[in-house]
Structure 1
């Protein structure tokens, strides 16, 4: 929690739980059961997220057949208080999730980014009497398998033929894509 402000305490906790459910819960990640995340949302949003879980960056699902390394998820980010256009409290979040995949017997791994896929999620959450609202959700995925990404799933580079980086990707270091104080990139690296 960024501070002890009682006006935001419940919102911070709701945002934390939504981040954990959406990006770390094995039922969402591995089983593709989005209910741990959806169940905390306001009823008005639930069907939309059930029917289209990749309509924002608040949920990560691994492509079936891919396995993470033990302790294969690292998280970094921050949350801070804000207000919507009506002056109501909301919580801004910007988090980076690094998922390290088990390469199995893959013999052509050249660097760490072939087994580590990175997700950046910038999501604004608002807690109301009805539940949690995802007010805004924007994200970016780096060092991922493109076909899996187009289908709404996360998989490591080594599972597909590697594409050449775009000009923007070649110019920037991976850290630059994920710094919490930089804008979300406009290209995904997948053609």
Structure 2
């Protein structure tokens, strides 16, 4: 298994630098507090990539995170802290026109404008305006990869790819086109046959900026949660939002590269490492990197989730929840 750090890699010195080492682990984690029919939730977890949902699936993508640039000893300022979330209800009435009611996503934003960032100011050799523009670029990458229906339902990664540095674009294009493990670290693709309800995804989270290792590098860090509501069609009964709502939480490190000391195709925005978790989803699609609602895999299961902090799935002021397993 390979570890990498963008600062140590030959390219921003070598165009083939961006390689993610992926390790997969599958564990069956079953919930006991829901009725047997309701049981499946999947967990996909990792130092660079994670998922959690009903019967739990764990995919781990490892990489040494550039978030070492960030001081994690102090929580975000109070104004950046979202309202403390609850957990998903075991049994609750579901309104398909308002599918996030009664869930942690009820008050989340409908666009990346809801991702909070500190007031603009200079960072390292970057002016306040340049930092604000870089934060805007990160917002656009998240929007294109996680919120746009053309990406999710059309499984089209081009919107995201066009926002990256040319050499980064090439590497992720291969991952997306070949459906290697890396593709799910930057885009959300729905499983064939499943579409979102008219209510679009909801998102909450933060973006911060810090000096990079060199004057012409700006490190950015995004921590966000997204909720997706899938159309159940004629399926019944839907007994809880957890049957149709899928949640992801990701921490992503970016680096903006500029200046004549770098090759032209290296200049721009790079995704350096990711760490994520998905909750309340179907296992088999998740093993292939796709999102599908938990109701699509009904069955009598029980789960023991002792030690797993579900609330931390939705609350970006909490550390990423630890998870040891996934779907068998």
Q: TM-score, normalised by structure 1?
A: 0.88
Alpha-carbon contact 2:310-2:321 (below 8 Å) kept = no
Which structure 2 residues correspond to residues 69-148 of structure 1 after superposition, within 5 A?
69-86=197-214, 88-129=217-258, 130-148=267-285
Are residue 3 (structure 1) and residue 119 (structure 2) matched? yes
The match for 1:178 is 314
The match for 2:47 is none
- Assess, with a 3 A threshold, how the Cα gap between structure 1 residues 82 and 164 changes in structure 2: closer, same or farther: farther
Query: For 1:67, which of 195, 198, 202 is the aligned residue?
Result: 195
Q: Distance in 2 between matches of 1:77 and 1:86?
A: 27
The match for 1:35 is 158
Between Structure 1 and Structure 2, which shows a larger proportion of helix residues? 1
Give the alignment's Cα RMSD to 1 decimal. 2.2
- Assess, with a 3 A threshold, how the Cα gap between structure 1 residues 103 and 73 changes in structure 2: closer, same or farther: same
Q: Distance in 2 between matches of 1:188 and 1:26?
A: 30
Deviation, 1:24, is 1.0
Alpha-carbon contact 1:62-1:154 (below 8 Å) kept = yes
- Assess, with a 3 A threshold, how the Cα gap between structure 1 residues 177 and 189 changes in structure 2: closer, same or farther: farther
Alpha-carbon contact 2:225-2:313 (below 8 Å) kept = no
- Secondary structure (helix, strand or coil) at the match of 1:8 reads helix
- Assess, with a 3 A threshold, how the Cα gap between structure 1 residues 79 and 106 changes in structure 2: closer, same or farther: same
- Assess, with a 3 A threshold, how the Cα gap between structure 1 residues 70 and 187 changes in structure 2: closer, same or farther: farther
Render the CA deviation track for 1:64-103: whole Å, top value 9, x for unaligned.
2111111141111111122344463211101100001111
Render the CA deviation track for 1:45-70: whole Å, top value 9, x for unaligned.
22321222351532111112111111
Greater mean deviation of Cα atoms: 112-121 or 101-110? 101-110
Relative contact order, higher structure (CA 8 A, sep 6+) = 2
- Secondary structure (helix, strand or coil) at the match of 1:81 reads strand
Deviation, 1:188, is 5.4
Deviation, 1:165, is 6.1
Render the CA deviation track for 1:95-150: whole Å, top value 9, x for unaligned.
10000111111113221111100011211122224221002111111001111111
- Secondary structure (helix, strand or coil) at the match of 1:31 reads coil
Query: For 1:14, which of 130, 137, 161 is the aligned residue?
Result: 137
Greater mean deviation of Cα atoms: 13-22 or 154-163? 154-163
